Structures are given as C-alpha cells and as structure tokens.
Amino acid sequence: MNNVKTALVTGANKGIGLATAEGLGKLGYKVWLGSRDFSRGQAAVDQLRSKGLDVHLLLINVADDSSVLEAARILKEQTAHLDILINNAGVALDLKTLPSGENMNLIRQTFETNTFGPIRVTQALLPLLKAADQARVIMLSSIVGSIGLSSDPDVIYGQVNFMGYSASKAALNMITAAFAKELGPLGIKVYAIEPGHIRTALNDHTGTLSTEEGAAVPLRYATMTLDAANGGFFGPDGILPW
C-alpha cells in the first residue's frame, strides 16, 4: 500500500476546518481541502501551500448528492486510499427563534448539511476508507447535540433551545454510532467530536477558544493512538453524555 498518509476535511476553507487541514498538513498528511466555493477554497489552499503543506482543493457541497459523487470520483482518481475523513462542514441557520417559530425550510437545510451530508460523504468515500490501514472518520458534532445536557436545567446547555441545529447534531451522534457498529470490525474507527466553544462564523465569533484550539480535538481523535470506544462522543475533556 502507498505509505503516503491522506486526509479529507470538508468545509475547510475557513474556521475549524481550515485549522484542522493545516494541522493535518503539519503532521505530514496529503490533505484535500473540501470547499463548496472555488475561489474561497483555492485561497485557503494557497494559504496552506505557502506554509509548505501538501494541500489540494476538492470542490464538494455535502448537501448535494451529485456534488458528493463527483468529488468522490475525482478523489478516487488521485489516491488509492483515504486514512482520515473529517466531516467538518456544518451550518447554523437559526439560533435565535424558539422551536414553535422555527422555519421548516431552514430546519431541512440544516439537516441536509449537518446530518445527511456526513452520511453522503462517508458512504461515497467508503471504498477509499476501506483501502486504508485502520482509517478514521470524524464527525464534527456539538455539545448541544447532547440530549442529556440539553435537558439538564442546572447546566448552561439546558438554558439554550436551538431545536433545528441541536436536533441535527443529536441525529449525527446516532449516525456516528451506526457507522461505528458496521465499520469497527473492518478496523475503521468513527468518532463524534465536540471541539469546544470556538470563535467561528457559526456563532458570530462569540466563542472563547481559537480555531486552532478547536482543531486540536478532531486532530487528536483522528491521528493519535487512543483508548477511546469506537462510536463514542468526545469533547476536549473526554467522553460526553448522549
């Protein structure tokens, strides 16, 4: 097998995705930087290449079936295996409206990217993941996807009520467990990751941690030897409640 380590990060032209792609590049991975937009994606690739990193643009809209299939076709022409898939692309379209008033179209769009997107991408790239030696799949989840914490009035996460967004991430956690159950016997580990309260466009840059600090968590579970249960939900301090 080709010993070049390979990785794909979706939604990587900015934020945690960009920082994660940079971190993988610094660890010696050949990285495909997934982006919906060519100009923004190429600008991000150029930025990382200027640092001497082996990074390549892959146009992919995780919410679109044909885009994902075309991206998978292109990637298969460029590599025989994929060691790491980081399903980072995500949206938060409405974090202000109460559940009774949330717009159904916005909820559908949220699920298309946050929930169905990781399914599409993982399924499409499964042959490349199976061809790698002990591949890993990272699902970028959120702590508000924890039903346990979101229903606890004594913690801060029990005070917020982001129905559409939180539900999309709670569903992603179940998807993580399902993929892990199937792929674990093949040597592929699948983790749901909460990166922390990061300053990104999703929260109008109100987070308390940098994107580099946020990228440290998916990087840890993607690349390090860990005693972590396959299919688990993990944050900066370890396992999180479902």
pLDDT tens for each residue of 96-144: 999 999 999 999 999 999 999 999 999 999 999 999 999 999 999 999 9
Among the options 5, 29, 30, 169, which is catalytic? 169
- Segment 41-55 mean pLDDT: 98
Return the domain boundaries, the chain.
Answer: 6-239
Active site residue 169: yes
Whole-number pLDDT of residue 196: 81
- Check: CATH 3.30.230.10 for 6-239? no
CA-based torsion, 193, 199, 200, 205: positive or negative: positive
d(CA 172, CA 169): 5
Q: Indicate yes or no: pTM above 0.75.
A: yes
Active site residue 165: yes
pLDDT tens for each residue of 23-36: 999 999 999 999 99
Among the options 5, 30, 165, 191, which is catalytic? 165
d(CA 56, CA 42): 8
User: Which amino acid, residue 206?
Assistant: T
